[in-house]
Amino acid sequence: MPTVALTTLGCKLNYVETSAVGRQFLARGFDIVAFGEPADVCVINTCSVTGRADRECRQLIRRALRTSGNPLVVVTGCYAQLAPQEVASIRGVDLVLGTREKFEIFDFLGGVEKKLYPHVAVSPIEDFESFGPAFSSSASDRTRAYLKIQDGCDYNCSFCTIPLARRSSRSQGFEACIDQAHALVAQGYKEIVLTGVNVGDYGTRSGSNLLTLLRAFVHVDGLARIRISSIEPNLLTDELIAFVAESEVMCNHFHIPLQSGSDAILRLMRRRYQVGHFAALIDRITRVIPDCGIGVDVIAGFPGETDERFEETRRFLADLPFSYLHVFTYSQRPNTPAATFAAQVEPKIRFKRNEMLRALGGEKKHAFYSRMIGKTEAVLVEGHADATTRYGFTGNYVEVGIPVSSAAENTILQVTLNGLQHGVCVGQPVCEAATI
């Protein structure tokens, strides 16, 4: 039986699409093995948000050639779409597929033998009209599934390559989303995470919207949880917040990109809000949903970010009641306006600011987790940390270690959180029968 190893860089959207590619291989009789094990084919689904992502892609290609027995190497995803010839020039690459072609991989693969020279199949992104496969599915993970409801973006932020790699915003059809949710529940999934480049933009071209879709999702029989992966602050409405607060199925968790706590930098980034709007939004969320988990994205070292402007961001975040922070070091990306801006920040300063913000994020996460101690929360048991402990997440995205047996995996338990250990909460199930 031929074998394939798949690996993914970047966002949850990429993971959804890698899962879809994997299903194509399974349907054709391939066995999927772990990346790094001997394989006939290695597929690398790439990201290109930062220069680091590009470097990681090159490292993965070299690792595949070193550890997998000289496999046929296929590179796809955003890096392949944006820089196909650069990818093809990496020694050992056999096939470079663009955004459209990744969903037609067997039209280009042929056999599993190494090619005499790299073959590049990358259509202009403007030619890509279809939506593509839209959900994750794994034989080894039956707890949380990712459902792509939207792709592409119309925002054109000055630092971002996503519109170049994924085209303009488009959404999956309403009925198709609901049908796929039913199918995922039938496979045993308890939680569905709605993913996309700009999830809050769902349905705007068809006269629908995200709230309408969510109202239909909560009536899918057997679906215990719905989580929104990320949503732009200007699209997170009071109606959406109220719906999440009132629904027993919606997770009390929002991930909201900020990017900077300086209005001057937000204007340079071409973001669609100001700091005051963001602060007011977080205040509304925490008033309506007091224990809501709130994740925030921020970029360190954007062009024009002086020491004073960075301090604005640091102070703003220090005062903001969020629960965790994702920090990205600014990376100049080809064909983006920000790459040509004056006042580029020195890399060592960017990295230093990243470290400072990560430390702040760690403090905020610790404070939020500490605040949850003593509460009883529903935890979806997802896997094992060691022989005696399984882990899972609450609806507001607190990671919890629980002393339960493997029989508890993929169940939702009421758990009293009674402490912190190694950066996660530890708890005891309310039902004694669930413990080891």
Q: What is the 3-state secondary structure (H, E, C) of the chain?
A: CCEEEEEECCCHHHHHHHHHHHHHHHHCCCEEECECECCCEEEEEECCCCHHHHHHHHHHHHHHHHHCCCCEEEEEEHHHHHCHHHHHCCCCEEEEECCCHHHHCHHHHCCCCCCCCCEEECCCHHHCCCCCCCECCECCECCEEEEECEECCCCCCCCCCHHHHHCCCEECCHHHHHHHHHHHHHCCCCEEEEECCCHHHCCCCCCCCHHHHHHHHCCCCCCCEEEECCCCHHHCCHHHHHHHHHCCCECCEEEEEEECCCHHHHHHHCCCCCHHHHHHHHHHHHHHCCCCEEEEEEEECCCCCCHHHHHHHHHHHHHCCCCEEEEEECCCCCCCHHHHCCCCCCHHHHHHHHHHHHHHHHHHHHHHHHHHCCCEEEEEEEEEEECCEEEEEECCCCEEEECECHHHCCCEEEEEEEEEECCEEEEEECCHHHEC
Indicate whether 425 pLDDT > 50: yes
Domains in the chain: ranges and CATH: 3-125 (3.40.50.12160), 134-251 (3.30.750.210), 376-434 (2.40.50)
Contact yes or no for 25/4 (Cβ under 8 A): yes
Contact yes or no for 371/380 (Cβ under 8 A): no
Summarize pLDDT for 255-307 with one digit per residue, the tens: 999 999 999 999 999 999 999 999 999 999 999 999 999 999 999 999 999 99
Mean pLDDT for 224-238 is: 96
Contact yes or no for 191/143 (Cβ under 8 A): yes
Indicate whether 137 pLDDT > 80: no
Q: What is d(CA 154, CA 134) in angstroms, rounded to the nearest whole number? A: 20
Q: How confident is the model at residue 128 (pLDDT cuts 50, 70, 90)?
A: low
Mean pLDDT for 220-240 is: 96
How much is the pLDDT for 244?
A: 98
More confident residue, 322 or 206: 322
How much is the pLDDT for 132?
A: 60
Instruction: Output the pTM of the full model.
Output: 0.86
Q: How confident is the model at residue 243 (pLDDT cuts 50, 70, 90)?
A: very high
How much is the pLDDT for 139?
A: 40
Q: What is d(CA 363, CA 67) in angstroms, rounded to the nearest whole number? A: 39
Q: Percentage of residues in the chain with pLDDT exceeding 70?
A: 94
Q: How confident is the model at residue 140 (pLDDT cuts 50, 70, 90)?
A: very low
The mean pLDDT of the chain is 89
Indicate whether 75 pLDDT > 60: yes
Q: What is d(CA 343, CA 296) in angstroms, rounded to the nearest whole number? A: 25
Indicate whether 433 pLDDT > 60: no
Q: What is d(CA 98, CA 380) in angstroms, rounded to the nearest whole number? A: 36
Summarize pLDDT for 146-182 with one digit per residue, the tens: 999 998 899 989 999 888 888 888 899 999 999 999 9
Q: What is d(CA 108, CA 106) in angstroms, rounded to the nearest whole number? A: 5
Please choose, from the candidates 266, 261, 369, 262, the residue with its C-alpha nearest in 3D space to the C-alpha of residue 324: 369
Indicate whether 47 pLDDT > 70: yes
Mean pLDDT for 331-337 is: 90
382: its two tokens: 């997802």
Indicate whether 9 pLDDT > 80: yes
How much is the pLDDT for 194?
A: 95
Summarize pLDDT for 201-223 with one digit per residue, the tens: 999 888 889 999 999 999 999 99
Summarize pLDDT for 187-204 with one digit per residue, the tens: 899 999 999 989 999 998
How much is the pLDDT for 68?
A: 76
Indicate whether 343 pLDDT > 80: yes
Q: Strand 293-300 relative to strand 324-329: parallel, antiparallel, unpaired?
A: parallel
Residue corresponding to tokens 């790299």: 118
Indicate whether 131 pLDDT > 70: no
